[in-house]
A = this chain, B = another copy of it.
Amino acid sequence: MVLISDIREKGRAFIADLVEEMDPKADGESAYVLIERLYPICRSITGNGVRRSLRLLRETIPLALREVVSDTPVFDWTVPDEWNIRDAYIMNQAGERVVDFRKSNLHLLNYSVPINRIMSLAELRAHLFSIPAAPDWIPYRTSYYHKNWGFCLTQHQLDKLEEGEYHVYIDSTLHPGHLTYGEFRIQGETDDEVLISCHSCHPSLCNDNLSGMVVGARLAARLQNLSLRYSYRFLWVPGTIGSITWLALNETILSRIKHGLVLSCMGDPGNFTYKRSRRGDADIDRAVGHVLSHSRREFNVLDFTPVGYDERQYCSPGINLPVGSLMRTPNGCYPQYHTSADDLSLVTASALGESLLQLFCVVQVLEENRRYVNLNQKGEPQLGRRGLYRQMGGGKDTAAMEMALLWVLNFSDGRNDLLDIAIRSGIPFKQISRAAAALQTAGLLGAAASEPDACED
């Protein structure tokens, strides 16, 4: 095989080369370093934290920052006012910041309105949130669409608060402004698109979802230099309102989206979990299921549910895009979820690298999957005289490549695509795809004329 380094000079590298050459460790470490830098920033569904985060990703890929003005109607919603935060604390009578936004941005109820008041602990309590069962962790709470203020703190902190008066200070603004999201598009051979989306609104939480943000960015960085059949669109959008906004503003191009994935929780060392698109049998569902089945790890495939992240919007009934959701341990299924314990120790470079590798393999399936027609359907063609078959029979083992050739020939009847054949045979897609290429070269396989008649089966 030609090395990607050789090809790139000629301007032609393909996803298959990338999959062969990829070093998950190196890619994973680049991703981890990016998470470390993004971690301290206080993100939300709008505001400067998001802008800073997206600009930081621009070091990796030249994504565009899109600004959508507050109050823009987007389907059933309107873009909210922009929220920005400078400082926030609860100060005791001794002048000590007993809860301090500067120590962790999770301490603040995200989207808190400003306040600057002295109040009793009794009054304050209604605005304090802790996790009694995990007394060392700060919970993550938000109040985007209901004006409120509050602080999140560890149970230990809460227990230590003495009766008395406290100075409650939140220096935030909530004014008409913009909702900001990131977008990056790679033009492929066709305008048909693969959509990769991740939510970018969580503050200092690593797995959910800095991991998705950086894995998306690394994937984009690696794909941008390849010769691609599909165009790829990457989105970094605030959860729910971001995907709704993007969908509402881009309705006319939705029909171009042929496959899509929402990425979240990509950095913990747990097994992979794939949640199918609402359609349930989309190509992306078959592709990810197949790739994970050859990942040498346990994995879970779940049917679509309308609970989760932005797949809820991409798969709302009136949109119904073929968009699935790839995760490692899913949201809500690890104890650190939505707490301060979802920190830099929960995610690992090797988990991030492995996530990227699976994504490359999925992209390879999407890029190389096609329906072919065996040009010699009566009996097997004689592979031996074409150099495609072992010269000597009777050995106990039929080599894997020969199996792949026979599978591709037998099932390339115009109905099955290569992914169907890979799934049915249990042979990894890339081997099936390689066999198809060899058979094409030998003149035994041709492109299928058009889409199969779904009713003909």
Contact = CB atoms under 8 A, between A and B. Distances in A.
Given A146-B392, A332-B396, A406-B307, A378 B247 contact: yes
Interface residues of A, number: 63
Interface in A370-394: 374, 376-382, 384-385, 391-394
Given A110-B394, A332-B396, A337-B396, A75 B315 contact: no
Nearest to A412: B317
Contacts of A381: 76
Integer count of this chain's copies in the complex: 3
Interface string A412-424: 1100000000001
Interface string A213-255: 0000000000000000000000000001001100110010000
Contacts of A240: 380
Given A109-B392, A319-B378, 9 more contacts: A75-B379, A110-B394, A141-B392, A148-B391, A305-B407, A305-B425, A316-B378, A316-B379, A318-B378
Q: Which among A148, A376, A379, A384 has the highest number of chain B CB atoms within 10 Å?
A: A379
A145 B384 contact: yes
A338 interface: yes
A390 to B, nearest CB: 9
B76 A306 contact: no
Interface of A: 74-77, 109-110, 139-146, 148, 240, 243-244, 247-248, 251, 278, 303, 305-307, 312-313, 315-319, 332, 337-338, 374, 376-382, 384-385, 391-396, 398, 403, 406-407, 409-413, 424-425
Q: Give the dominant DSSP class at A's interface.
A: loop
A381 B317 CA distance: 12
Contacts of A382: 76-77, 145
A173 B307 CA distance: 69
